[in-house]
Amino acid sequence: MPKEIDLSRREFLRQASLVSAAGSIAAPFALNLFTMNVAAATTLTSDYKALVCLFLAGGNDHNNTVIATDTPSWTGYLAARNIGGGASIALPQANLLPINPMTPVVDSVGTRAFALHPSMAPMQTLFNSGRAAVIANVGTLTTPITDKVDYRNNSGKRPVNLFSHSDQTAQWHSTDPAKKIYGWGGRMADQIKSSNSKQNFSCISSSGNSVFLAGETINQYQITSNGTAVPVGGLTNLFGTSSNLQTIITAPTSSNLFEIEHAAVVQRAMAAQADLSTVMAATGASVVTAPTQYTNPNTGTLANNSLATQLQTVARIIAGRNTMGAHRQLFFVNMGGFDTHDGQAPNQSNLLARISHAVSYFDDTLKTLIDTNGGPIEDMSSKVTLFTASDFGRTFTSNGDGTDHGWGSHHFVVGGAVKGQEIYGPFPMTAVTNTSAGVDNPLDVGSGNLIPQISVDQYAGTLAKWFGLSPAEITSVFPNLANFATPDLGFMV
C-alpha cells in the first residue's frame, strides 16, 4: 500500500505548481526556491526562439522516406522490399524526388545519392533550397553501440523494451531513463522559463498530454488543435443564482491527491484561458492565414490537413510572443497513423504528403508573421525550428504490404536557422544481412533494423544549444550526452 506522503512535502509541491501556474514574475526568487534540482536558470530575453516537435506516432518507415538511390544502396533496397504483389512497398525509382546535399556523401558503400518519397515535393524544395536538413539513423541510445556484435554481447547497453511503442515513445520524449515521465522539452523549459513573463506558456501542446513537454517545475499548457480556449461557463450566473462554482472546481476539500491534482488542472485552465485567448493572433487573411487544403495522393482530391491547422495554431501563438512576453517557447504537435504494419503504400503516402504540405505552409507563414503587440511584420523563420521525431523507424524487410517495428530512423529539421541541404550523420548501408548472398550489414540487428549512429541526446542536444541553454544546463537536461563523442551535430547556425 503506498504510504501517505509527508504533508509538508505535498504542500510544498502544490505550492510550486500553483506558483508556476500563476505564471507570475513577481517572485522569480520564490520560484527558484522550488527549483532546487535545476542548475542556475538562464534568462534569455534579448531575442525569441521556439522549438516545434512534430512527433510521428507509430513509427515512421524511414526507409521509404529518405531513400538512398546509388546503385549498391538501391540493390539492397530492392532485395529487401521488392517482393512482388500488388501491395508491395518498394517504391518505383522513377517516381522518387532527388535531394542534393551540398556536401557529397562518400563512404564505404560508395558515393551516395538520395531521394525522398514521391509525396514529399514541398519537403524536397525545402531541402534543396537549404531550409531543411536530414539527420540520418538517429534513435534511442543511452550509450553508443558499435555494431551488432556489441549489441548481442552487451544486452545491458540496449534501450529498455526496444521495439515497444509506449516505451520507445517515452524514451524519445524523455531520453533520461531516471526521469522517464519528464520530457527533455519540459526539462529545457525548467532551465529557461524565467525568460518568459508568463511561464505557463513556455510549453504548449496542441495534442494533449505529452511526456515531451512535461517539466519538473513547468506544466505544459494544452490547447485545442485549432487554437480555441473556451472558458468555464456559469461562473457568475448558474441556474438562477450566483454560485461558488469556481471555488468548488478549483479548491480541493480534502487531502486526496487525485482531487488535489484535478483541481490544479482546472485552476491552470482558467488562469491560462483568459490570457491566451487575448494574446494569440486570430486566424484570417490579414492575420495568420489559414492553410490551404492539400491533395490526397491516393485519390487526387483536395482535403483538409489537420496537421497544417495545428501548425497554424502554433504560428498564431508565436505571433503573440511580445504580447505575452515570451522569449523561449516549446511546442508539441502529434500526428498519428504511422504504425504501418499493413496498407503501408497508400497510408504512408498520404501521411508524408500531409507532413510536407503542413511544414511548407508553416515555413511560409513564419516568413511574414504579424506581431499582435503592434510590431512590424517579421520573418520569424530563422527563430523557429521544427524537427521531426518518432517512436522508431521500421524494419527494412516487409510482411508483404507493411513493415514492423524498427529502431534507427531518419528525421528532418526545418527552419531558417538550420544549415540545410545536408545529410548529417553517417548514412547507413541500406541492406539486410544475407550471409548466403554475401551481404553483411554490421548495424543490422535483424530484419534490417539498424543500430542508431546518432542518439536522441545528440539530436536534442544540438537543438538545445541553438535554443540557448548553457553547457551546464545541457548536461543537466541530457545526462547521457557525455557518453557520445559529438554533443553538437552542427546542423544549426
Among positions 220-239, residues that touch another protein (CB under 8 A) are 221-224, 228-234, 238-239
Among positions 425-484, residues that touch another protein (CB under 8 A) are 432, 446-447
Among positions 1-60, residues that touch another protein (CB under 8 A) are 1-5, 9-10, 13-14, 17, 57-58
Question: Hey, which residues does 450 pair with through a beta bridge?
Answer: 444
Phi, psi of 42 (to 5 degrees): -90, 140
Among positions 81-120, residues that touch another protein (CB under 8 A) are 81, 83
**Nearest Cα to Cα of residue 41 among 471, 473, 477:** 473
> Does 290 help bind another protein (rule: CB under 8 A)?
no
Phi, psi of 113 (to 5 degrees): -130, 155
> Does 157 help bind another protein (rule: CB under 8 A)?
no
Taking the C-alpha atoms of residue 346 and residue 110, their distance in angstroms, rounded to an integer, is 32
Assign 3-state DSSP to the chain and report helix, strand, coil percentages, each to 5: 35, 15, 50
DSSP assignment of 403-424, as one string? --B-S-EEEEEESTTB--S-EE
> Does 405 help bind another protein (rule: CB under 8 A)?
yes
Q: Which amino acid is at 402?
A: G
Nearer to another protein, 341 or 367 (CB): 341
Of 65-73, 191-199, 253-261, 312-320, the window that binds another protein (rule: CB under 8 A) is 253-261
Q: What nine digits make up the cell of 270?
A: 482558467
CB of 85 to another protein, least distance (A): 8
DSSP assignment of 441-474, as one string? -TTB-STT-B--SEEHHHHHHHHHHHHT--HHHH
Name which position in 402, 415, 425, 468 contacts another protein (CB under 8 A): 402
CA atoms within 13 A on the CB side of 369: 29
Cell 542534393, residue? 100
> Does 400 help bind another protein (rule: CB under 8 A)?
yes
Name which position in 47, 107, 259, 440 contacts another protein (CB under 8 A): 259
> Does 139 help bind another protein (rule: CB under 8 A)?
no
Letters for 159-198 (x = contact with another protein by CB under 8 A, - = none) are: --xxxxxxx-------------xx---x------------
CB of 358 to another protein, least distance (A): 20
Letters for 313-332 (x = contact with another protein by CB under 8 A, - = none) are: --------------------
Parallel/antiparallel/unpaired status of strands 132-139 and 423-424: parallel
Nearer to another protein, 256 or 292 (CB): 256
DSSP assignment of 135-150, as one string? EEEEE--SS---SHHH
What are the helix (H) ranges across 71-142? Answer: 71-81, 121-128
Name which position in 68, 79, 120, 307 contacts another protein (CB under 8 A): 79
> Does 245 help bind another protein (rule: CB under 8 A)?
yes
Q: How many residues bind another protein (CB under 8 A)?
A: 92
Q: What nine digits make up the cell of 30?
A: 520564490
Of 46-54, 268-276, 306-314, 462-470, the window that binds another protein (rule: CB under 8 A) is 268-276
Nearer to another protein, 438 or 471 (CB): 438
Name which position in 50, 56, 116, 218 contacts another protein (CB under 8 A): 218
Taking the C-alpha atoms of residue 432 and residue 82, their distance in angstroms, rounded to an integer, is 13
